Every structure is written in structure tokens, then in C-alpha cells.
Amino acid sequence: QEPEQSYEVDYSGEAAEALSPEIIRLQALQTVSAAANQGKRNPRPKVVPDYISRFVYDLYHREVKSDEQDSSEAVAPRLFDEIGSDRLALEDLIASYYYDSVADSSSAFLTEWFALNKNIRNILAVFTCRRLGWDPQRYLVGKGEVETLLLQSKAKDFDLGEKLPYLAKVLQIAEERDIARRERLIDLLKWQWMDEWTFVRVFDIDNVLCYYLRLGILERWANLNETKGEATFRNIVHSLKGESAQVLQDFKKAQRR
């Protein structure tokens, strides 16, 4: 019996010094996809974040059936074959893995901060789906108690009023039709959340992190003048036209059934 091929890659030494960090990471991900495509375990290279390694592995993984290894039907289809052409689905999948990874952070602040961002995103997505009659399951990121209630609850507050103290503000933001104003309200909500978090943590590292995040918010709006903002908006609309057309076709097909 031939020894199992190893997909572990050593990126130390003189050979690695001649490669750029981008090439090293690309080669690492190619190693992950090759292992996945052959039903091998994920080598989890250290040169790329674990959630990206997991994303690539799950996207290309084929599960080999041990009793039918010589059959042409011995492997299950790759996830890439199912959603590879759906950019929105790919973005949601890697976002879900990213949020999963930060949920295990040793920093309570980072865990809560990214939970806040995910919850705001999902609440706004479900609110929009309710208004347009779309299936919200396709647009939610993550799998947990909050996501389950967002999908199943018929209540106006999704039965999350006690669990998410900022829910009422998010629902008010969802009613705002002016996109620029909505974005400002979202950033204001995040700013207020950081104020509350750091109120009793004056000399804590969390204060430094919040200062950095606030600078990011200020820089974003300082750079987004009216002309640039309009150009950015038009680019977003243009990129979404193809996806919106596909959603409309799916909706029409569902209506005919």
C-alpha cells in the first residue's frame, strides 16, 4: 500500500524567501483545494487565516466513497459546482466563516463587536426580504439562535427585543429609504455602542480598539464627498444589476409553481 500523499507544505527556508507573501498564500490555497478535491484532510496552512482555508476546502471538497472508489460516481459534487457562479452566495459563505472564527476570539470586545455587525446586517436583510416577499434564508449569514429567530419568528421584533437591546434602533434604520442617511445611522449606532462599551473601560485595550474603529468611520465619511459618493453608488448598482435580474427570474419561477 502506497503511503498517503502529504499536503503539508513547508514555507520556511531559502526557497520561501524568494517568493512574495501573495504567492506563498496563493500556493497554500492551491494546496488546500488540491487536498479537498481528492477527499483528503484540510492541511490548514499557517500562512493563511483559518477561515479562508476552511472556505476554500469546503468549496472544492469531494467526499470519496470508500466502497466505490473506482466508480465514476464515487464522489459527491463540489460545493463550487453548486454556487460557484453565485457571487452573493460565495460572499455570504466566506462572511459566515469569518464571523464563526471571530466568535471564538479571546477578546470579549471583538466577539461582541463582530456579533453586532453580523446582527445589524442580518436584521436589515430579513426586513428587506419581508418587504419584497423574498426568501430570507438565502441572504442570512451565520447559524445560531439569532439567525433561527430571524427566520422563524413572525413577531415584529423577531422575539429578539430582550436579547438585542439595539434591535429597535436597527428596525428604525431599516425604515429609512435614503441610502446615505441609512449608512450614517448605522455608523452612529455602532459609535454609540462603542461609547457604552468603553464607558467603564477607560484604561482598557478595548478603548484603543474603539479609537481605531472610530477613526475608520470618520475617514470613510471624510473621503465620501458627494461626487465620489454618487460614483460609488452607481458602481454598486451596476454590479448588482445582474444579480437582481437573477433574483427576479427565480421569483417569477417560484410564482408559477
Q: Is 167 within 8 Å of 176 (Cβ atoms)?
A: no
DSSP 103-136: HT-S-HHHHHHHHHHHHHHHHHHHHHHHHHT--G
Please tell me the predicted confidence (pLDDT) of residue 43.
Answer: 83
Q: Considering its fold, how many domains does the chain have in total?
A: 1
Would 180 be classed as within a structural domain? no
Q: Is residue 255 part of a domain?
A: no
Determine the pLDDT at residue 121: 94
Evaluate whether residue 38 is within a structural domain: yes
Number of H helices, E strands in the chain: 11, 0
Tally the C-alpha atoms within 13 A of residue 38's C-alpha that lie toward its C-beta.
13
Give me the phi and psi of 75, to 5 degrees please: -125, 145
Spatial separation of the C-alpha atoms in residues 46 and 9, rounded to whole Å:
10
Question: Is 22 a member of any domain?
Answer: yes
Longest dimension (CA), the chain: 67
Q: Is residue 237 part of a domain?
A: no
Q: How would you write the pLDDT of the chain (257 residues) with one tens digit per residue?
A: 444 544 454 545 554 455 677 788 888 888 888 888 888 888 888 888 888 888 888 888 887 665 544 444 546 667 877 777 778 788 888 888 888 888 888 888 999 999 999 999 999 999 998 888 888 888 898 888 999 999 998 888 899 988 999 999 999 999 998 888 899 899 999 999 999 998 877 778 888 899 899 988 888 887 776 666 566 656 655 655 555 555 556 555 655 55
Residue 205 is assigned to a structural domain of this protein:
no
| Nearest residue to 80 (alpha-carbon basis) of 96, 57, 64 | 57
Residues 146 and 125: their CA atoms lie apart, in Å, by 13
- Residue 67 is classified by DSSP as G
User: For residue 41, what are the domain limits?
Assistant: 11-84
For residue 219, give the 3-state DSSP assignment: helix
Q: Is residue 31 part of a domain?
A: yes
What's the predicted TM-score (pTM) here?
A: 0.70
Does residue 229 lie in a domain region? no
Q: What pLDDT, on the 0 to 100 scale, is given for residue 228?
A: 65
Distance (Å, whole) CA 221 – CA 48: 31
